[in-house]
Amino acid sequence: MVSPLAYIHPEAVIGQNCEIGPFCYIDRGVVIGDNNTFMNSVTVLYGARIGSGNIFFPGAVISAIPQDLKFQGEESTAEIGNNNKIRENVTVNRGTAAKGRTIVGDGNLLMEGVHVAHDAHVGNDVIIGNGTKLAGEIVIDDHAILSANVLMHQFCRVGSYTMVGGGTRFSQNILPFSLVARDPAAFCGLNTIGLRRRGFDRDLINNIHLAYQIILQGTGKLGDLLARVEQEIPMSPEIEYILDFIRNSERGFIR
């Protein structure tokens, strides 16, 4: 299952039933789980921690040192979970002293040319389109979709079940369950089709819509608007998530 044209450092740890194609490079100190496929010309560098059941397409580079001038060679990792598809020429840099690790969770699809910078945290079941670039120390919550050629500024967060339109550039947080697009980036409503596909019922979608009507169209201080949501909208984990997300949005959020 290992091509004679691949290089694997003697100190690398490789699990069972892994396929490693020609011209792959597996560096020292790398730890790889079971049932992974590395097509030709995949580079896995020091600090990589890879789970099981992943597929890496040609040209992917995992755990290169950060593109951050503050990086001083400190110990850090790039951690890839399970059952991800990492397409051609994807780059995932390892962490810095800021957080120590870059994380890509489980069941994600990173399409061709995606860049995941140092100390980023990509959740589970996320789709990231061709050419999208994620800056350092960002967070993408579970089930989000970022279309092609999106530019995500450092320290930003994208909420769960969000759809971000192709070519969007943003430097503030994106609210959960929303559609965001245009230039400059703007809130374009709920990701209603996506929510229905994920099994959200009509009443829950309506409550999310009413909560955002209060928050985005109401008058008064933001804290008062959030209090109105708590008083007027039936509470659920999804509504609580929206309130917590906004209260913790130090960069503000796209309206």
CA distance 44 to 228: 50
User: Residue 151's closest CA among 115, 104, 189, 110?
Assistant: 115
Chain CA centroid to CA 212, Å: 24
- φ, ψ for residue 69, nearest 5 deg: -65, -15
Residue 1 in tokens: 């299952």
Q: Are residues 117 and 13 in the same domain?
A: yes
Q: Are residues 67 and 133 in the same domain?
A: yes
Last residue of a domain, one of 137, 166, 182: 137
Each residue's pLDDT expressed in tens, for the chain with a length of 255 residues: 899 999 999 999 999 999 999 999 999 999 999 999 999 999 999 999 999 999 999 999 999 999 999 999 999 999 999 999 999 999 999 999 999 999 999 999 999 999 999 999 999 999 999 999 999 999 999 999 999 999 999 999 999 999 999 999 999 999 999 999 999 999 999 999 999 999 999 999 999 999 999 999 999 999 999 999 999 999 999 999 999 999 999 999 999
State residue 57's pLDDT score: 98
State residue 52's pLDDT score: 98
Last residue of a domain, one of 120, 137, 154: 137
- Is residue 94 in some structural domain? yes
- Which residue is catalytic, options 136, 159, 165, 194? 136
Q: Are residues 120 and 41 in the same domain?
A: yes
Domain holding 240: CATH number?
1.20.1180.10
Q: Are residues 14 and 130 in the same domain?
A: yes
- Is residue 151 in some structural domain? no
State residue 162's pLDDT score: 98
- Is residue 243 in some structural domain? yes
Number of domains in the chain: 2
Name every residue whose Cβ is closer than 8 Å to that of residue 152 and which is 6 or more positions away in sequence: 132, 133, 134, 135, 138, 146, 158, 170
- Is residue 209 in some structural domain? yes
Q: Are residues 122 and 202 in the same domain?
A: no
Domain holding 35: CATH number?
2.160.10.10
State residue 196's pLDDT score: 97
Q: Are residues 228 and 124 in the same domain?
A: no
- Residue 119 appears among annotated catalytic residues: yes
CB 109 within 8 A of CB 129: no
- Is residue 149 in some structural domain? no
CA distance 112 to 132: 9
- Is residue 26 in some structural domain? yes
- Which residue is catalytic, options 119, 123, 141, 159? 119
- Which residue is catalytic, options 21, 95, 118, 194? 118
Rounded to two decimals, the pTM is: 0.97
Domain enclosing residue 203, as ranges: 195-247
- Residue 59 appears among annotated catalytic residues: no
Q: Are residues 125 and 18 in the same domain?
A: yes
